[in-house]
Amino acid sequence: MNQHTEHDLAEALRHCEAEPIHQISAIQAHGLLLVISIDVPRTILQASDNLQQFFAHSAQTMIGAPLHHLLDSEALLKLEQVLENTRGSEAVSGVIHIETALGKQDFQLRAFLSDDMYVLEFTLEDDLTQHENLQDLLSLMQLGITSSELDIGIDGYFEQIASILQTLTGYDRVMVYRFDSNWDGEVIAESRRHYAESYMGLHFPAGDIPPQARQLYTLNLIRHVADISVSPVSVIPPHNPRTGQPLDMTYASLRSFSPVHVQYLNNMGVRASMSISLLQNGRLWGLITCHHLTAKRLSSALKEACALLGRMVSIKLTAIEAYEQRSLVNKSAYLTGQLLKFISTDSEAVLMERLLPKLLNLFEASGVVLRVEGNLYVLGDCPSESSLDELISWIGNHAETGVFCTEQLSAIYPKADSALPAGILATPISKDMRNCILWLRMEKPKTVTWAGKAEKLIYSDEQGLLRLSPRQSFATWSEAWQGRSSPWLAVEQGIAYPLAVALTESLSQKSQMDQVLAKQKLAEAELRLAASAFESQEGMLVTNPQGIILRVNTAFVNATGYQADECIGKNPSLLKSGRHDQAFYRDMWHKILADGVWKGEIWNRHKNGDIYVQHLTITAVKDADDQVRHFVGSYLDISETKAAQAEIERLAFYDPLTGLPNRRYLLDRLKPALASSARSGIYGAVLFIDLDNFKTLNDTLGHDQGDVLLKQVASRLTGCIREVDTLARLGGDEFIIMLENLAENALDSAALTEIVAHKIIATLSQPYQLAGLTFISTPSIGATLFNDQQTVAEQLLKEADIAMYEAKKAGRNTVRFFDPNMQKVILARAALEADLRLAISDQQFVLYYQLQIDQQHCVIGAEVLIRWLHPQSGLISPLTFIPLAEETGLIVPIGEWVLEMVCRQISLWQNDPLLSKLEIAVNVSPRQFRQTNFVENLQGLLTTYQINPLRLKLELTENILVEDIEAVVIIMNQLKQLGIKFSLDDFGTGYSSLQYLKRLPLDQLKIDRSFVQDMEFDGNDQAIVRTIIAMALALDLNVIAEGVESLRQKELLKNYGCGNFQGFLFSHPLPVDAFEHLVKSL
């Protein structure tokens, strides 16, 4: 590098800044891309080269072919529905079911227009979305809207954003990166894993994010890189046949990454990343950057949520700037008002004593210089008059009219020395600088810590062009900044010139005009100052004391749709929406006239008729005699914030499929309904509605048609009830109706409820048209009455649920009321509990053992299964008594007995060469596992029976992860130190959090029998099994499948990489003697 000249460096930088920031005509490998014609029939113009991974066609063979050669009619119909909503480069998305080489699969479709062609991006969602935590998502959105940076500071606000975003997405490191005026960046907030390097407080040079990258971040708010180690996939052909140019990937979420960016991330030790753009008033303010040390994909839903977060934070940043601007405008207006008040009565010296301190404090300057008609007035830390004259003359020759500012005067002023300030904000109103204001700031030394040296190696590429390579090291180093002041804010620069104009014009006219003329001119200056605020993003108008509009700004025109000439001379009432009554406006004007100001939300009407919400501030501007001269109104559009709040409420309280209230909303409505019923004595009722044979519909016509049926059912149910009643969807095919104000006695109330129920049965039993077929669906309805405030809402749902199952048992398509006689069932359960307690004391349990084998059909171990040998009822299945044992806590002594019997049996087998090597798997319930003495008791058993702990394997279900994962990890690590192994049972059916899975010291994953039993015929189950096995192998975990009952199932599992098996194909569960005989015979 030392051999290259400054010219070489400039040439390399120019080539670098002209280089695309993503690989041309290529996408990331985890998705699929198609470019199709906008005209019908749709023709495939370009395709990504990985097409054959999903379909039986290669990209080359499909170019020029009609789209229906690739997609079936159902997928084409869904695609057209999505394309109907496409508007320009703004992308729309949806889930589309596509028949692929692996069967029916769900893809997330993202579509947008580019050069009069549709660009379609497909990503296979797999099971990414099922692990996302909706509550965390809602919390993050709520924080983005409601958290106040005034309470916690802007840094504290972003610390909260980074922490919650890391929890939500699972990235190893989340940073908030803010740009300064030179486009250098600083990390101002960070949340990270302990093993991820911290960059908090570090600065990065502007060259790390070149101009073309910053432009892209401004246009496209989110950029996701799933895995830099996977090569991008080419788009075939590389140039579009219609335009002859490479495809514009600016708005593509799958756009690839350049080799330079790959090398940069690789040098940081990062393999996957995501960046969310933060804009302030349309300018790039900073980035939320997420890093992961391994490959990481995100679902489309989560990426859209992150993009929404970016927009919300950008709104917050814009609001902060508007707030700062409004604050300075108010201060400067007050300062001008003070000048107006005293200009006619005070002497020049007294006037300056009043004015200069306020000017000094306005921008937190160390000195201020006011020059009026060539006369200097100074306050604070200022250089000599001769030095000031030279400096002002130099500014007049080198600055345009307007605002001149610098935070490092020594870098541009030839005569800079230690006596001069480091920072200057000047307003050269005229070329001769006879009238101007200078705010001065002294040097503010500080030490800046950089993330690695900014120097980069220069090399020649294949064409012989000089280029810069990414930095090889990010080792920190410190640089002392001297000769610099604190920077001048954009809002300070924006208000400085109009303020200087108003003040200097007013002061210069003081000596030339009489008192009356001076007041009039200063009032005009005040109006000019108010007009200068029109340069902000807020809509503003000025009226006379009678409320007639004198002036509006461009933002007002854009917001209302009215041109200036359509407003001036009229009353602001032309914006009235009709949503506010006369009392609202009467109270508004009473406050304005009493206090001089009114602030609040108001609904206005656009010229086109649309109604929208704004935040309005009306200020009365008074003259020296305290008479109102004008009213100034400023409008801030808060529609996006209101819409975001409404969307969060919809997600929290309403079912996204049907639009009906959800369980949370229903419970909130039930509580006051119970209280009201108790006070009035009038009964209400709850109906639990379940669709008969809904699973059959999903299995035959598909989940998309099941969704269509649920929407139609919701619509029909709405027509069956009154407006005062509540209809909610619990989930799946379960609906709840709450009826209020029925009758004063139970009999009449039950009769009315039954009438509604039979109306629902008749309505829902009518045929449905689904996918061109006629489908009949009947409901089973359970009903229960209430008029007692002591009743718990959840208990009502439980009673209605029990009654619904009675309706199912009665043949379906009917209604049953909850009968207190159902307590017989509860009594039977109590009797079973009593028998179970006796069984524990009398040791009525026996243990059975089921073989576990490997791919070579060698016995590797067994799972222990408990049976209850009841003295009267005989052998009782664990499915009958284990749930009761879990609920009552009896599972703990039962589990302790099982563990002791297993340890005793392992001890008996230790000297048998055929049995001593077996691993014995024991199911441990979450309740038993969380006992404070669990580790101590198990350690005591190992010591008592002197067994090898490697022979004992504990099977835990995913439900154990639901509560206090930290405590679970601690217990598992303690047992792991003893040598005990762990298997995660029924994997995929419970909590299934990959976030926590990697933290657990597991040895094995057990694939649940529900995925195995139908995998011969169900492509979805096959896909799930393959995913579980691949994930387990990636985590270096052993895999075993349970419920294997056919050779075909075994062969499929073996081909997918599963190493161990358990099921009836090899052996039923056997008593210990029969099990020993079986092992010795194999």
pLDDT higher than threshold 90 for residue 290: yes
Q: What is the mean pLDDT of residues 915-939?
A: 93
pLDDT higher than threshold 80 for residue 808: yes
Q: What is the mean pLDDT of residues 682-689?
A: 94
pLDDT tens string 753-790: 989 999 999 999 999 988 888 888 899 999 999 987 66
Two tokens at 141?
A: 């959105």
Give pLDDT, residue 518.
47
pLDDT tens string 181-210: 778 889 999 999 999 999 998 888 887 888
Helical axes 515-532 vs 490-510, angle rounded to 10°: 170
Q: Rounded mean pLDDT of the chain?
A: 83
Range in 103-107, 530-534, 748-752, 836-840 the model is least confident about: 530-534
At 37, is the pLDDT very low, low, confident or very high (cuts 50, 70, 90)? Answer: very high
Q: Name every residue whose Cβ is closer than 8 Å to that of residue 140 and which is 6 or more positions away in sequence.
A: 161, 164, 165, 168, 305, 309
pLDDT higher than threshold 80 for residue 958: no
Domains 327-519 and 538-644 belong to one CATH topology: yes
φ/ψ (deg, to 5) at 272: -140, 150
Give pLDDT, residue 994.
63
Rounded CA-CA distance 381/384 in Å is 10
Cβ atoms 601, 583 nearer than 8 A: no
Helix (H) or strand (E) holding 103: strand 103-114
At 168, is the pLDDT very low, low, confident or very high (cuts 50, 70, 90)? Answer: confident
What separation in angstroms does the CA of 933 have from each of 96, 899, 928?
51, 14, 9
Between residues 15 and 1036, the one the model is more confident about: 1036
Q: What is the mean pLDDT of residues 283-291?
A: 92
Give pLDDT, residue 515.
44
Give pLDDT, residue 1059.
92
pLDDT tens string 997-1036: 778 899 999 998 888 988 888 888 888 899 889 888 888 8
What separation in angstroms does the CA of 132 have from each of 137, 445, 961?
8, 46, 15
pLDDT higher than threshold 70 for residue 514: no
Helical axes 300-342 vs 639-653, angle rounded to 10°: 140
pLDDT higher than threshold 90 for residue 46: yes
At 851, is the pLDDT very low, low, confident or very high (cuts 50, 70, 90)? Answer: very high
Give the single-character DSSP code of 146.
Answer: H
Beta strands in 375-493 (DSSP E): 375-380, 404-406, 423-426, 436-441, 446-451, 458-460, 466-468, 476-481
Architecture of domain 538-644: 2-Layer Sandwich (3.30)
Cβ atoms 1035, 1063 nearer than 8 A: no
Between residues 500 and 676, the one the model is more confident about: 676
Q: Which residue has the tokens 């027509």?
A: 719
Most confident of 424-428, 671-675, 989-993: 671-675
Strand partners, 684: 786
Cβ atoms 392, 433 nearer than 8 A: yes
Strand partners, 921: 863, 953
Give pLDDT, residue 3.
54
Give pLDDT, residue 516.
46
Between residues 819 and 749, the one the model is more confident about: 749
Q: Name every residue whose Cβ is closer than 8 Å to that of residue 709 and which is 6 or more positions away in sequence.
A: 691, 694, 697, 768, 770, 775, 777
Range in 124-138, 860-874, 885-899 the model is least confident about: 124-138
* Backbone angle region of 680, left / alpha / beta, with phi > 0 → left and psi within -120 to 50 → alpha: alpha
Q: Where are the domains of the chain?
A: 23-298, 327-519, 538-644, 654-818, 833-1081
Regarding beta strands 952-957 and 981-987, do their DSSP bridges make them parallel or antiparallel, or are they unpaired? Answer: parallel
Two tokens at 826?
A: 């509860």
Q: Name every residue whose Cβ is closer than 8 Å to that of residue 855 and which is 6 or more positions away in sequence.
A: 1054, 1059, 1060
- pTM value is 0.46
At 408, is the pLDDT very low, low, confident or very high (cuts 50, 70, 90)? Answer: confident
Range in 250-254, 464-468, 607-611 the model is least confident about: 464-468
Give pLDDT, residue 992.
52
Beta strands in 134-257 (DSSP E): 173-179, 185-192, 203-204, 222-225, 233-236
Give pLDDT, residue 760.
95
Q: Which residue has the tokens 């590429």?
A: 461
pLDDT higher than threshold 50 for residue 949: yes
Range in 446-450, 589-593, 623-627, 643-647 the model is least confident about: 643-647
pLDDT tens string 723-746: 889 999 988 899 999 999 998 888
Query: 366 in helix, strand or coil?
Result: coil
pLDDT higher than threshold 90 for residue 407: no
Give pLDDT, residue 130.
41
Q: What is the mean pLDDT of residues 980-1007?
A: 79
Q: What is the mean pLDDT of residues 833-857?
A: 93
Residue 542's nearest CA partner among 620, 636, 623 is: 620
Share of the chain above pLDDT 90, in %: 30
pLDDT higher than threshold 60 for residue 521: no
Task: Give the domain 327-519 fold.
Answer: Beta-Lactamase (3.30.450)
Give pLDDT, residue 993.
56
At 106, is the pLDDT very low, low, confident or very high (cuts 50, 70, 90)? Answer: confident
Give pLDDT, residue 89.
67
CATH H-level, domain 23-298: superfamily: GAF domain (3.30.450.40)
Q: What is the mean pLDDT of residues 631-637?
A: 83
Count of alpha carbons within 13 Å of 140, Cβ hemisphere only?
Answer: 25
Regarding beta strands 919-923 and 859-870, do their DSSP bridges make them parallel or antiparallel, or are they unpaired? Answer: parallel
Q: Which residue has the tokens 């409004």?
A: 326
Q: Name every residue whose Cβ is closer than 8 Å to that of residue 910 and which is 6 or more positions away in sequence.
A: 916, 947, 948
Two tokens at 591?
A: 């406050």
Give pLDDT, residue 869.
92
Residue 381's nearest CA partner among 369, 395, 367, 394 is: 367
Q: What is the mean pLDDT of residues 401-418?
A: 82
Task: Give the domain 654-818 fold.
Answer: Alpha-Beta Plaits (3.30.70)
**Angle formed at CA 300 by CA 295 and CA 306, multiple of 5 degrees:** 85
Q: What is the mean pLDDT of residues 428-451?
A: 81
Task: Give the domain 833-1081 fold.
Answer: TIM Barrel (3.20.20)
Give the single-character DSSP code of 2.
Answer: T
Cβ atoms 149, 316 nearer than 8 A: yes
Give pLDDT, residue 249.
84
